[in-house]
Amino acid sequence: MKEAIVIGRPNVGKTLLTINLAEFLGQRRVEVMFRPRDGAAYTRIYSIAQARADLVAETPHRTRCLQSLVLSVPRGKGVRKVVVTDTTGLCDEIHPSSAVRRAMADTIRSVARAVIILHVVDPLQPLSGVDLDILRFGQTQEGYALVANMMDLPGRAERLPELVRAARPAPVLAVSALKRTGLGEVRAFLRRHL
């Protein structure tokens, strides 16, 4: 099964995007596989609402290990399955917590093997540091897209043209994970690269 990963800075809405995308693709429940470094991987089944409540937080670094879920993306009359891996937020500096550092290392590892990379950003923050590094890496990859999240919030739409210019030739998908807009574009992108 091909793997798609969702990466970005802490608190840009990676997990919410993943869960709401699952819902958008018609999933009522999600089976999430956690892959902590210390201990065996385990799976847990959530309803969409539960997943949102349990996995999404307003503080950074709620996601401490790779969380994978399998999504079915309709393609023609059939479906293709894809493992979507939600990752730990990446930051510029060396993080003091070894657990977070480990999770980040796992995240970068999964970047190396993913076929699809959804790079989530808040358009209000100019691309810099780690975001630029992800973008530059992504521009060499076929299945990379820059996901401009939080489009429902003020000030974001104005910054979009700038992002599109910076991302070229990679595509920019404008979404609001919270308001669930633009998810159709994400689906179309997945479909193209599965």
Query: Looking at beta carbons only, is 105 or 157 nearer to another protein?
Result: 105
| Per-residue DSSP letter, 57 | -
Positions 64 through 103 that interact with another protein (CB under 8 A): 68, 70, 75-78, 80, 83, 90-96, 98, 101-102
List, in sequence order, the alpha helices (H) in 48-128.
Answer: 48-55, 98-113
130 part of the interface to another protein, by CB under 8 A: yes
Please pick, from the candidates 104, 127, 145, 172, the single residue that binds another protein as defined by CB under 8 A.
104
x-or-dash string of contact with another protein, 4-33, rule CB under 8 A: -----------------------------x
User: What's the sign of the alpha-carbon dihedral 116, 120, 123, 126?
Assistant: negative
x-or-dash string of contact with another protein, 142-161, rule CB under 8 A: --------------------
How is residue 105 written in tokens? 């290392």
